[in-house]
């Protein structure tokens, strides 16, 4: 399945409220495995939320850094 992926990396600097945002269009049958492969080799905590419209939101904490991956059906 093809998704629009929005990856947000939250900035921990106290003076910077912005976050890094990356957009791509991956093909995957398993968004959670896609994220795990992307972050392979790192200690990761993942929470997954499946929304009624088919969107999959994955919140990940990698080495204390919070990231959100939003997979929307393309």
pTM greater than the 0.85 cutoff: yes
Burial of 16 (0-12, 13-18, 19+ CB in 10 A): exposed
Instruction: Write phi, then psi, for 54 (nearest 5 degrees).
Output: 95, -5
Domain count, the chain: 1
CATH number at residue 69: 3.10.50
Determine the structural domain holding residue 51 and report its residue range.
3-73
pLDDT of 61 reads 95
- Find the DSSP H helices in the chain: 31-38
Q: Is the pLDDT of residue 64 over 90?
A: no
pLDDT of 2 reads 96
Q: What is the pLDDT of residues 9-57, one digit of tens each?
A: 987 766 666 778 999 999 999 999 999 999 998 889 999 999 999 999 9
Q: Which residues contact 68 (CB under 8 A, 6 or more apart)?
A: 6, 7, 8, 10, 57, 58, 59, 60
pLDDT of 6 reads 97
Please give the residue that has the higher pLDDT: either 12 or 8: 8
């Amino acid at each position: 399945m093809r998704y629009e992926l929005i990856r947000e990396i939250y900035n921990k600097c106290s003076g910077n409220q912005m976050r890094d945002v990356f957009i791509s269009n991956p093909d995957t049958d398993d968004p959670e495995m896609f994220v795990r492969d992307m972050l392979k080799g790192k200690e990761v905590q993942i929470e997954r939320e499946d929304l009624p419209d088919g969107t999959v939101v994955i919140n990940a904490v990698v080495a204390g850094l919070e990231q959100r991956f939003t997979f929307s059906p393309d």
